[in-house]
């Protein structure tokens, strides 16, 4: 029995994840307007997948040697072929779901129509609208020797037509349809709630723009371009790193296409000609039965909100304050007394932001050091700290894909305020979520450390599930200080005690803890491993998990996205269970659990079990030492394992299936929110009257 039966190719596993997103768009148990969001997310996910993953495989195909991946031994070419085949199948599913969604929107007063459903009078109104509001802003190109085929921007929509002169000569015409001047969603004035997409209007009236020609064929077209610029190769001692990144972003806009989508069927000759001009392979051409860009659904949602159709949306939920802290009192003394765990989006990120503002003003605080990857209120707090004379060191990761531009902008803002800004490490991306507040007290230096699974951004902290531990444990503080000391020297830490720190002290420590569980089972005791991550691709860890399963260790895993390990395969992975949760909030938290109840170690981490995280990035996992917090994480983990509303089980055949575990379906995210509301209410009843509380200045 080869690898093939208990391993899955990472790209095909990712496509299965995106199919789970698409399934939510077709899920009748999800409110109708919210299903539109899942349809749009499915599309933007797939765009990025083609831009990065498919592009990488296509680059590999250019190599003189045959490159194979290490799970199923597939070549780059075999992977691309398989991806194209699955994408076509998913496209059919997407078209069926889209049709169903549009059908369900009609009774709610929303219609998206095309010309064959308009009266003659409405046609005239739209023609007048086209003539006055759209045509003046269009620039049509007819391709010729004097006018070469234009550069098509990534993900923009174009109308393309085959024109014929009276003398029988053919020409290709291209009209850009994406611009900021006119609306994408056009109201039909005679019918409330009825819309047409501007590109469909342009395509319909395209003959008006080419009066000397006959339009033989026409379609809308969209290309997806390679975005996988290699940031590693640009590191150069003599180079301004920020400037180099800015140039790379410009370069990304002009990379080769990896996919071309058409809205109408065209003849083979014309498709081949377009493929030549655009430099895309014929088998990378897709016919789409749904709009080429789904972002218009957000305008439909706004319309539904304005017509007060609240039942079409999720029940309103806002992050609650943690009952662990009294927000009217100083936070530093409270954290010196006990560890605090925040669970986003169910609990608010505000206490952490308040802690930074408090540190910015506190006379005992001498420095704040932080790894940061998002523009947010946190930046303002750090600027205030620097202006108050604190030492502020911020590691800004300029290589955070697709966030580079905003990261460049706010790194300048931090520098101007007097913060010391460092830009990652040579060869290693910094992905850890680490903040260290150092204080000078009568007893010497005292640390407060925050370590998270993600999210230094108040907007996404209301959309992603993440965990954040704030602790005054001095051992953890000392190790965090060592991590920053290494980063400032452009190095990585060689050894750690409590923390797990990639690239050198995370994968090996995880392997050791798996080995410990194997040893317990060999002694006739029970062994247990519980892992919650977003992706599992690290072959070294996968092989060790298989070994643990074969030894009889019970392994439970919650893996949202890519999972290259197939569970339940006899003789290999029969002791492994894998669940994936795709719900209202993006699952982003990582939890590692090793050992049975009486001896368990629990960590929260910024790292998934992907080689890029475990050995090619700076990542930090922190042990949760407080027993109450450990119990809370265990309860959360067990609740997610039992989620039979949004949790799908991965079978030994490599498919994700529904489960029926509870009398009433359990939605773990909704349960955590209900709990957060209930805890906040109880806490507000128990807290003393605010007059007796010392107000924070």
Closest CA to 589 of 397, 378, 433: 433
Q: Could you tell me whether strands 528-533 and 591-594 are parallel, antiparallel, or unpaired per DSSP bridges?
A: antiparallel
- Rounded to whole angstroms, what are the CA distances from 553 to 23, 397, 573? 33, 38, 10
Indicate which residue of 204, 431, 520, 588 is catalytic: 431
Taking residue 499's Cβ as centre, other Cβ atoms within 10 Å add up to 26
Q: Measured between alpha carbons, how far is 114 from 120 in angstroms, rounded to an integer?
A: 13
Q: Which residues contact 56 (CB under 8 A, 6 or more apart)?
A: 228
Helix (H) or strand (E) holding 467: strand 464-471
- How many CA within 13 A on the CB side of residue 226? 21
561 vs 49: CA distance, rounded Å? 13
User: Looking at beta carbons, which pairs linking 76-80 to residues 24 or more positions away fall under 8 Å?
Assistant: 79/9, 79/11, 79/12, 80/54
Distance in angstroms between the alpha carbons of the first and the last residue of the chain? 68
The number of residues making up the chain comes to: 697
In terms of C-beta density within 10 A (0-12 exposed, 13-18 middle, 19 or more buried), how is residue 343 classed? buried
Determine the angle formed by the axes of helices 32-49 and 10-25, rounding to 10 degrees: 160
The answer to whether 396 touches 423, Cβ cutoff 8 Å, is yes
Active site residue 284: no
Six-digit token string for 270: 């014309």
Stretch (H or E) spanning 180: none
CA–CA separation, 191 vs 111, rounded Å? Answer: 9
Residues ≥6 apart with Cβ < 8 Å to 667: 583, 643, 645, 646
SS3 619: strand
Q: Please tell me the distance from the alpha carbon of residue 581 to that of residue 587, in angstroms, as a whole number.
A: 7
Gap between the Cα atoms of 646 and 667, Å rounded = 6
Paired strand residues for 394 = 370, 421
3-state secondary structure (DSSP) of residue 346: coil
Q: Do the bridges between strand 554-559 and strand 576-581 make them parallel or antiparallel, or are there none, so unpaired?
A: parallel
Q: Which among 185, 38, 48, 52 has a CA at the least distance from the CA of 111?
A: 185
CA nearest neighbour of 562 among 585, 536, 583, 586: 536
Check if the beta carbon of residue 636 is closer than 8 Å to that of residue 616. Answer: no
Beta-carbon count within 10 A of 692 CB: 8
For residue 123, count other CB atoms closer than 10 A to its CB: 12
Q: What is the DSSP letter of 20?
A: H
- The pair of structure tokens assigned to 682 is 């109880």
Q: How many CB atoms lie within 10 A of CB 562?
A: 24
Report CA dihedral (603, 331, 691, 695) to the nearest 10 degrees.
Answer: -150
Give the Cα separation of 562 and 130 in Å (integer): 46
**Tokens at 691, concatenated:** 């007059």
Task: Provide the annotated active-site residues.
Answer: 431
């Amino acid at each position: 029995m080869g690898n093939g039966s208990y391993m899955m190719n990472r790209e095909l596993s990712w496509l299965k994840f995106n199919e789970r997103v698409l399934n939510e768009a077709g899920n009748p148990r999800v409110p109708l307007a919210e299903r539109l969001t899942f349809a749009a997310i499915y599309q933007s996910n797939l765009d990025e997948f083609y831009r990065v993953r498919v592009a990488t495989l296509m680059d590999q195909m250019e190599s003189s040697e045959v490159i194979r991946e290490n799970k199923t031994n597939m070549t780059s070419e075999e992977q691309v072929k398989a991806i194209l085949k699955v994408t076509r199948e998913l496209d059919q599913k997407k078209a069926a779901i889209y049709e169903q969604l549009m059908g369900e929107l009609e009774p709610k007063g929303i219609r998206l129509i095309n010309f064959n459903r308009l009266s003659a009078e409405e046609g005239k109104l739209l023609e007048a609208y086209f003539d006055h509001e759209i045509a003046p802003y269009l620039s049509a190109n007819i391709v010729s020797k004097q006018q070469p085929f234009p550069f098509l921007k990534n993900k923009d929509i174009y109308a393309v037509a085959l024109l014929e002169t009276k003398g029988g000569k053919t020409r290709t015409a291209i009209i850009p349809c994406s611009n900021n001047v006119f609306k994408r969603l056009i109201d039909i004035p005679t019918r409330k709630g009825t819309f047409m997409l501007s590109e469909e209007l342009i395509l319909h009236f395209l003959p008006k723009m080419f009066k000397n020609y006959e339009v033989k064929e026409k379609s809308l077209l969209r290309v997806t371009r390679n975005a996988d610029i290699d940031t590693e190769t640009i590191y150069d001692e003599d180079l301004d790193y920020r400037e180099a990144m800015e140039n790379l972003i410009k370069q990304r806009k002009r990379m080769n296409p990896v996919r071309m989508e058409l809205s109408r069927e065209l003849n083979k000759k014309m498709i081949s000609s377009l493929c030549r001009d655009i430099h895309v392979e014929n088998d990378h051409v897709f016919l789409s039965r749904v709009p080429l860009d789904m972002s218009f659904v957000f305008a439909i949602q706004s319309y539904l909100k304005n017509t007060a159709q609240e039942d079409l949306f999720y029940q309103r939920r806002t992050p609650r304050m943690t009952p662990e802290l009294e927000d009217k009192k100083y936070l530093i003394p409270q954290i010196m007394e006990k560890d605090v765990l925040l669970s986003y989006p169910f609990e608010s990120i505000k206490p952490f932001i308040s802690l930074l503002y408090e540190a910015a003003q506190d006379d005992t605080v001498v420095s704040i050091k932080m790894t940061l990857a998002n523009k947010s209120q946190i930046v303002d707090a750090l600027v205030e700290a620097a202006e108050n004379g604190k030492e502020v060191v911020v590691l800004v990761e300029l290589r955070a894909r697709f966030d580079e531009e905003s990261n460049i902008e706010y790194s300048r803002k931090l520098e101007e305020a007097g913060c010391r800004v460092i830009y990652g490490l040579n060869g290693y991306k910094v992905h850890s979520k680490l903040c260290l507040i150092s204080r000078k007290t009568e007893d010497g230096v005292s640390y407060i450390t925050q370590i998270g699974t993600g999210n230094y951004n108040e907007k996404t902290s209301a959309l992603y599930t993440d965990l954040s531990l704030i602790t005054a444990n001095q051992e953890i503080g000392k190790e965090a200080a060592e991590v920053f000391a290494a980063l400032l020297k452009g190095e990585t830490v060689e050894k750690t005690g409590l923390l797990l720190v990639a690239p050198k002290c995370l994968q090996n420590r995880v392997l050791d803890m798996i080995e410990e569980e194997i040893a317990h089972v060999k002694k006739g005791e029970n062994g247990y491993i519980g892992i919650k991550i977003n992706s599992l691709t690290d072959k070294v860890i996968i092989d060790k998990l298989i070994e643990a399963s074969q030894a009889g260790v019970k392994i439970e895993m919650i893996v949202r996205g890519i999972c290259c390990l197939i569970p339940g395969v006899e003789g290999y992975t029969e002791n492994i269970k894998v669940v994936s949760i795709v719900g209202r909030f993006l699952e982003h938290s990582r939890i590692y659990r090793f050992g049975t109840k009486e001896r368990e170690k629990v960590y929260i981490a910024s790292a998934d079990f992907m080689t890029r995280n475990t050995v090619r990035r700076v990542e930090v996992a922190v042990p949760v030492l407080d027993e109450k917090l450990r119990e809370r994480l265990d309860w959360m983990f067990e609740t997610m394992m039992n989620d039979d509303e949004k949790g799908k089980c991965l079978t030994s055949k490599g498919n994700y299936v529904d489960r029926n575990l509870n009398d009433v379906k359990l939605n773990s995210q909704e349960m955590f929110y209900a709990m957060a509301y209930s805890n906040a209410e109880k806490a507000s009843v128990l807290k003393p009257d605010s007059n007796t509380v010392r107000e924070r200045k």
